[in-house]
Amino acid sequence: MAAYHRPPPRRSPRRTVHQTARRRDSGGRRMVQLVICGGIFVLLAAWKLLSPQSIAPFARTAGGLLGQDADFRAAFSAVGRAIAGQSPVSDSLQEAYTAVFAPSRYEAERAAQVQKGAMAAADRLHAVMAAHPMVTQPPPEEDEGTVTQSYTFFSQPLPEKVTMAQEIFPFAHTTPLQGTLTSTFRWREHPIYGGERFHYGIDIAGTKGSAIGAFAGGVVKAVGEGASLGKYLMIDHEGGITTLYAHCSKISVSSGQTVAMGEKVAEVGDTGDATGPHLHFEIHRDGMYLNPIYYVEVH
Amino acid sequence: MWRSTEFRLEPGFFLLLALAAALGALDVLPVLLAAAACHEAAHLAVLGWFHVPVERVALTAAGVEIRAPIQTRLSYPQEIAAVAAGPACNLLLALVSARGPGWYLFAGANFLLGAFNLLPVLTLDGGRICYLLVSWLWEPVTADRLCRTLSAVTAWALLLLLGGLLLLTGQGLLLLLGAAGLLAGCRRG
């Protein structure tokens, strides 16, 4: 950086004096320059420190002019995309220009693009959900001809062997117990053990001893008693469907017995880990848990 | 050959960093510096191939700079190759690296750096190639006059374009200042 300056040759005294004077002047001039620059810096620093609000608009204008808002990254990426053939050259050039010379418009355009993408994704989701409707009991004031569709969005993934798909059963079926729905087919905090667990069936409240009817005609597959399920039974139906009825106080049928739809198979109880008398009802198909809510009428 | 090369870090480089920080462009600066480094490395490689000693490699306010002595030993085609190696490397890198979304920034930066360097302005590689080509095909005096004119026209055109854009959009003062610097550089040279 320091260039080598040769001192000028001393040819005559007049010249020497003249040159010396010039050198002194330039030294003095540099001093003045330094003082002015230093003064400007001190003034600006003081202004910024003492009154940051008043300097803010100037800083913004200066920054804007210098190109603080310009998105060079986006401009370069646009060019790169054109080279890769990912987008046409004219589009890329336009994008690059907008990113550098019209950054506020560029930001707005980008935001609009993001929103469009989000709305397209929402439309796709809507289409998927429409293909698999979850029909719950329509409210009584609903007039005929309208269909209520409600969607339940889960924040957690479903466990394995669980499906929310509604199926068509090849047989007539009925609600095993008329009563209030107290718990549904979803993730919940376990009422006794705490912690997030998936509830693999629905709970219908009932008075102890009320009759529980078979969901549909079939053959009693199993009758048993377990620590959590209490007294329970399982019935095999057509099409690989199996139903489970748990927390019963009394089982009225035996394994291997053929039952008809609605026939009394058990009585409501609170055996097993139940907090009150209710029927825990599950529907299985080939090892998959289905959501019983589609196939029963409860309130 | 490398033992006699001086590697230097100039204070102007930190001004460049400060400017990038102030503009919030610190995320593109490393990419640009990498592209500049590839550019200079290509120059150095070809110069080394021709056994030309390199005087100095410096990190300056303009990025990365190479200083090599006047090429009296290289023929015209050889010197053209050495000068063209830089932008050619950038353009090649741009083509090759534009594979996936993560590389668009790098490819774009390389392309723009290469294309910019090919502008027929005396201080840039493009102007130098122009001078060498015309010197080779005709003779140096014509080359000098032709390339000076071409250089001035290009620099002024760029300046006017950016000035117009600044007036129109209120953006791009920095680019305009860069163009002014370019013009000043080629006037001095």
- Computed on alpha carbons and rounded to an integer, the radius of gyration of chain A in Å comes to 40
* Shortest Cα distance, chain B CAs vs residue A65, angstroms: 5
Q: Are residues A47 and A84 in the same domain?
A: no
Chain A hits for B58, CB-CB cut-off 8 Å, are: none
Mean pLDDT across B169-189: 75
Nearest alpha carbon to residue A154 among A292, A297, A291: A291
Q: Is residue A137 part of a domain?
A: no
Answer with the residue of higher pLDDT: B120 or A158: B120
Structure confidence at residue B31 as a pLDDT band (50, 70, 90)? confident
Chain B hits for A81, CB-CB cut-off 8 Å, are: 98, 104, 108
- Give me the number of domains chain A comprises: 3
Q: Give the chain A residue whose CA is nearest to the CA of B8.
A: A1
Cβ separation of A100 and B172 shorter than 8 Å?
yes
Q: Give the chain B residue whose CA is nearest to the CA of A73.
A: B28
Q: Give the chain A residue whose CA is nearest to the CA of B9.
A: A1
- Interface check A70 vs B, CB under 8 A: yes
Q: What is the pLDDT of residue A150?
A: 54
Q: Give the chain B residue whose CA is nearest to the CA of A77.
A: B105
CATH number of the domain residue A197 falls in: 2.70.70.10
pLDDT digits (tens, 9 = 90+) for A210-264: 999 999 999 999 999 988 899 999 999 988 999 999 999 999 999 999 999 999 9
Q: Give the chain A residue whose CA is nearest to the CA of B104.
A: A80
Q: Are residues A108 and A196 in the same domain?
A: no
Q: Are residues A288 and A192 in the same domain?
A: yes
DSSP element (H, E) containing B8: strand B6-9
Q: Give the chain B residue whose CA is nearest to the CA of A99.
A: B171
Q: What is the pLDDT of residue A2?
A: 40
- Interface check B133 vs A, CB under 8 A: no
Cβ separation of A77 and B171 shorter than 8 Å?
no
- Reply yes or no on whether the pLDDT at B178 is more than 80: no
**For A80, which of B23, B107, B173 is closest by C-beta distance?**
B107
Q: Is residue A25 part of a domain?
A: yes
Candidates B105, B111, B166, B167: best to mutate against A (most CBs of A within 10 A) is B105
**For B27, which of A73, A75, A100 is closest by C-beta distance?**
A73
- Interface check A103 vs B, CB under 8 A: yes
d(CA A29, CA A87): 56
Q: Are residues A203 and A250 in the same domain?
A: yes
Q: Give the chain B residue whose CA is nearest to the CA of A74.
A: B105
Task: Enumerate residues 152 to 181 of chain B having a beta carbon within 8 A of any beta carbon in chain A.
Answer: 165-166, 168-175
- The structure tokens listed for A262 are 């609605």
Q: Is residue A1 part of a domain?
A: no
Q: What is the pLDDT of residue A138?
A: 47
Residues of chain A with pLDDT under 70: 1-26, 63-69, 132-156
Chain A hits for B23, CB-CB cut-off 8 Å, are: 63, 66-68, 70
- Computed on alpha carbons and rounded to an integer, the radius of gyration of chain B in Å comes to 17
Mean pLDDT across B143-154: 91
Chain A hits for B109, CB-CB cut-off 8 Å, are: 76, 80
- Interface check A49 vs B, CB under 8 A: no
DSSP state of B118: T
Q: What is the pLDDT of residue A164?
A: 85
Q: What is the pLDDT of residue A98?
A: 82
**For B172, which of A1, A83, A101 is closest by C-beta distance?**
A101
Provide the number of CB pairs (under 8 Å) joining chain A to chain B.
89
Q: Are residues A80 and A62 in the same domain?
A: no
- Reply yes or no on whether the pLDDT at B68 is more than 60: yes
* Shortest Cα distance, chain B CAs vs residue A103, angstroms: 9
For residue A265, the tally of other CB atoms under 10 A from its CB is 23
The phi, psi pair for B55, rounded to 5°, reads: -75, -50
Q: Is residue A2 part of a domain?
A: no
pLDDT digits (tens, 9 = 90+) for A97-115: 888 877 777 778 778 888 8
Give DSSP secondary structure letters for B15-74: HHHHHHHHTT-TTTHHHHHHHHHHHHHHHHHHHHHTTPPP-EEEEETTEEEEE----SSS
d(CA B59, CA A219): 86
Answer with the residue of higher pLDDT: A174 or B14: A174
Q: Is residue A12 part of a domain?
A: no
For residue B138, the tally of other CB atoms under 10 A from its CB is 11
* Shortest Cα distance, chain A CAs vs residue B28, angstroms: 6
Q: Are residues A60 and A119 in the same domain?
A: no
Cβ separation of B107 and A78 shorter than 8 Å?
no
Q: What is the pLDDT of residue A243?
A: 94
Q: Are residues A29 and A107 in the same domain?
A: no
* Shortest Cα distance, chain A CAs vs residue B175, angstroms: 8
Q: What is the pLDDT of residue B131?
A: 92
**For B108, which of A1, A76, A101 is closest by C-beta distance?**
A76
Q: What is the pLDDT of residue B174?
A: 75
Cβ separation of A68 and B94 shorter than 8 Å?
no
Task: Enumerate residues 33 to 92 of chain B having a beta carbon within 8 A of any beta carbon in chain A.
Answer: none
| Domain layout of chain B by residue ranges | 1-118, 120-189
| Range(s) of the domain holding residue A216 | 181-294
**For A80, which of B106, B166, B173 is closest by C-beta distance?**
B106
Chain B hits for A1, CB-CB cut-off 8 Å, are: 10-11
pLDDT digits (tens, 9 = 90+) for B84-93: 999 999 999 9
Q: What is the pLDDT of residue A152?
A: 56
Q: What is the pLDDT of residue A146?
A: 56
Cβ separation of A77 and B104 shorter than 8 Å?
yes
Answer with the residue of higher pLDDT: B134 or A8: B134
